[in-house]
Amino acid sequence: MNTFRIETPYSKQEFIKANYIRWEILSRNNRKNIRLFVISGAIILGIGILAYYDNEPNNPLLYFGIFFELLAIMMINSAIISKRKYKNEINEIAEKYDNAKMDCVYEFTEQCIKYWDKEKNLEFNWEVFTSYSIYKNYLILHLNNSIINTYIFEKKESEMDEYNKIYEFVQRKLKLNENISEKKRKVN
């Protein structure tokens, strides 16, 4: 295989969906930490309540349990606010791109991936991509170990031939990042 080229018209909904996938991957660790604080706080609080004696005025376990629960509430609040802000920013960018009719072209070669649209013309050698992952129905190419700087390709029934060709290129050139990829999903 020498060169494979994809021309994709801009779709506002697909742009928003791809950026929500980025958000979902980025926020996974935060969700795990919130669960950890909620469970830890509940266990410590429960032990503190069980170990509470009438003649003991200050049980430190109760304070630690309350602290962990409050920390979890603050983390949940922060996650909700930052997600709302992210959604607003993505919707603004999507609207801007929609008005500009930001169609793009990807070209896969043995040496590099080329991308161009109305604003930019980029060429990345395969060496700058550190890995790829499969998340839900998306093939994600990681640029310099970053979740933010990624190329995302959706696996659609109508475009399976294109997806399979991209996957073939990527599989030969990059290694799978199993930390992000879903374990249960099977590619192809």
Q: What is the pLDDT of residues 130-139, one digit of tens each?
A: 889 898 889 9
Threshold 0.85, pTM exceeds: no
Over residues 56-82, mean pLDDT: 89
pLDDT of residue 182: 61
Residue 80 CA to residue 165 CA, distance in Å, equals: 38
Residue 152 C-alpha from the chain's centroid: 10
Q: At residue 40, does pLDDT exceed 90?
A: yes
Residue 43 CA to residue 2 CA, distance in Å, equals: 59
pLDDT interval class at 186 (50, 70, 90): very low
pLDDT of residue 181: 65
Residue 49 CA to residue 46 CA, distance in Å, equals: 5
Q: At residue 22, does pLDDT exceed 60?
A: yes
